[in-house]
Structure 1
């Protein structure tokens, strides 16, 4: 599992964020380690709750209310694992194709 996805999984649990909000935050380039500073609306009442903050800056940045394709972190992990396995298989096939029986063509 990728380190950056592990951090997002921890942040999702810690801040009670949905897959939609995590997808938005990732597209915005937010740092999952720094979400605690933003999610401080109980101690600092002038701050918006984290979900509203993410939605607001996403709308400002991308001019749309939510991502076109919302994928859960588990789905992203599965896709990456499948991709790695396919890449490994292709690499092994190429290796097998390069090793051919020696022929004497003199």
Structure 2
């Protein structure tokens, strides 16, 4: 489902994101509603801001992708 630009703009404003954060969120397959839902409130001091959360997800996926790629390369050399 494609989300309207209005929803993305609302998420950008409420979550205090920049254009780069929105671009990364879209690439990760996140939607504006999930971004808004993950805004930490005052009782959730442990929760990272949405922009940090997006970057952490991106780094984790890149790390996993790199590990998978290394595993494939090592499997090729063993055969």
Q: Give the aligned length.
A: 62
- Structure 2 counterpart SS, 1:9: helix
Task: Give the root-mean-square deviation of aligned CA atoms.
Answer: 1.9
User: Match for residue 40 of structure 1?
Assistant: 40
Query: Please, which runs of 5 or more residues in structure 1 have no aligned partner?
Result: 64-106
Cα offset for 1:3?
4.9
Cα offset for 1:34?
2.1
- Tell me, in whole angstroms, the C-alpha distance in 2 between the residues paired with 1:11 and 1:19: 11
Question: Where does 1:7-86 land on structure 2 (aligned, <5 Å)?
Answer: 7-63=7-63
Query: Please, which runs of 5 or more residues in structure 2 have no aligned partner?
Result: 64-79
From the CA coordinates, give the structure whose radius of gyration is larger.
Answer: 1
Cα offset for 1:37?
2.2
Name the CA shift for 1:31/1:13 in 2 (closer, same or farther; >3 Å): same
TM-score, scaled to structure 1? 0.51
Structure 1 ranges of 4+ moved more than 3 A = none
